[in-house]
């Protein structure tokens, strides 16, 4: 078994991890009971809004923090621009 693991490129492990993370984000509701947005779909829409309106990173972080306060407490929306980008980086965005 060790020989098989050593033969597999570390990039393959990274790709599996990226796929699993993206799949989980695509299936995880933004908050319990949310049927319209998943974590991934919400972040994609918000980042698109940021880019379209040429928002600064600081103003976008402030928006994320405000939305986090407005949504139910169990929401999983990132509260910083940096965290939103980390969700999308594996997609090359």
Q: Count CB atoms within 10 A of the CB of residue 29.
A: 17
Is 6 exposed, middle or buried, given 0-12, 13-18 or 19+ CB atoms closer than 10 A? exposed
- What residue spans of 53-93 are helical by DSSP H? 57-70, 81-88
Kindly report the pTM of this predicted structure.
Answer: 0.77
Structural domain harbouring 71: 2-91
Integer Cα distance of 31 and 21 in angstroms? 17
Do the Cβ atoms of 32 and 72 come closer than 8 Å?
Answer: yes
Q: What is the total count of domains within the chain? A: 1
pLDDT in tens, 19-77: 788 889 999 999 999 999 999 999 999 999 999 999 999 999 999 999 999 999 999 99
8 A C-beta contact, residue 11 and residue 18: no
């Amino acid at each position: 078994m060790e020989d098989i693991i050593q033969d597999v490129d570390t990039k393959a492990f990274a790709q599996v991890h990226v796929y699993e993370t993206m799949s989980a984000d695509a299936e995880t509701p933004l908050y319990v009971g949310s049927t319209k947005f998943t974590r991934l779909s919400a972040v994609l829409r918000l980042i698109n809004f940021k880019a379209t309106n040429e928002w600064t990173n600081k103003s976008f972080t402030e928006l994320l923090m405000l939305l986090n306060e407005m949504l139910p407490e169990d929401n999983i929306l990132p509260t910083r621009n940096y965290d939103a980008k980390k969700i999308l980086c594996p997609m090359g965005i």
